[in-house]
Amino acid sequence: MQTIDLADSTLRALNKTLYAQSETTNQTQWEILNPKGAHAIACGLDAPIEVTVRGSTGYYCAGMNQKATVNITGSAGPGVAENMMSGKVVIDGDASQYAGATGHGGLLVIKGNASSRCGISMKGIDIVVHGNIGHMSAFMAQSGNLVVCGDAGDALGDSCYEARLFVRGKVKSLGTDCEQKEMRPEHIAILTELLAEAGSDARPEEFTRYGSARTLYNFDVDNAGAY
């Protein structure tokens, strides 16, 4: 285990050290102490390493992640795992707004609640939230899966494309062009795998699926008011 204490080291030095890791590194376990809400911790990682942040983080923690596993033992500020490409990010606490925004791949697990715009413009990432999510989540979500074990706020899935949205609890309102969908066996299989990987004991049969009604794919004057 390699330990870096941000009480004694700069954030620039920390990230430079983590950037230097490669596919062949034998230093695969890293621990970061005293993050104290610092921004951009462990961003841009591109190696199969595991980084554990002992405490809460600021903006954009684990952004642009590839291959790495990042564990946050506290809560995360805005934009955690933003534009993530692969790997896994696990947050023990809550996540602020636009968690997992524009993510292309990998798995983001939030064991607490997520704020507004969770999964905005997601492009293939899988997001599992054990608690609730805020308004405008999955806005313009293109692909991937958003799983919510609690409730969802206003305008879920507004203007979404082909992302799959699964909510166990109540949805305050659906966004433009988002509708309830049939839950088929393939969706139960997807949920079963994601819930197991995220460490949730929720049952897939308890969820409702939502997705695009596909009325905004092409311009139609009859739908002009919805654009």
Q: Note the pLDDT tens digit of each residue in 37-95.
A: 999 999 999 999 999 999 999 999 999 999 999 999 999 999 999 999 999 999 999 99
Is residue 134 very low, low, confident or very high in pLDDT (cuts 50, 70, 90)? very high
**Sheet harboring 50-54: ordered strands across?**
2-5, 29-33, 50-54, 69-72, 88-91, 107-110, 123-129, 143-148, 164-167, 208-212, 178-181
Which of 147, 145, 152, 162 has its CA nearest to residue 203?
147
Q: What pLDDT does residue 215 have?
A: 85
Structure tokens at 65: 């992640």
Does residue 219 carry a pLDDT above 70?
Answer: no
Distance separating alpha carbons of residues 49 and 68, to the nearest angstrom:
5
Are the CB atoms for 125 and 106 separated by under 8 Å? Answer: yes
Q: What pLDDT does residue 216 have?
A: 77
Residue 216 φ then ψ, to 5°: -110, 5
Distance separating alpha carbons of residues 79 and 19, to the nearest angstrom:
20
Distance separating alpha carbons of residues 53 and 17, to the nearest angstrom:
15
Which of 151, 112, 109 has its CA nearest to residue 126?
109
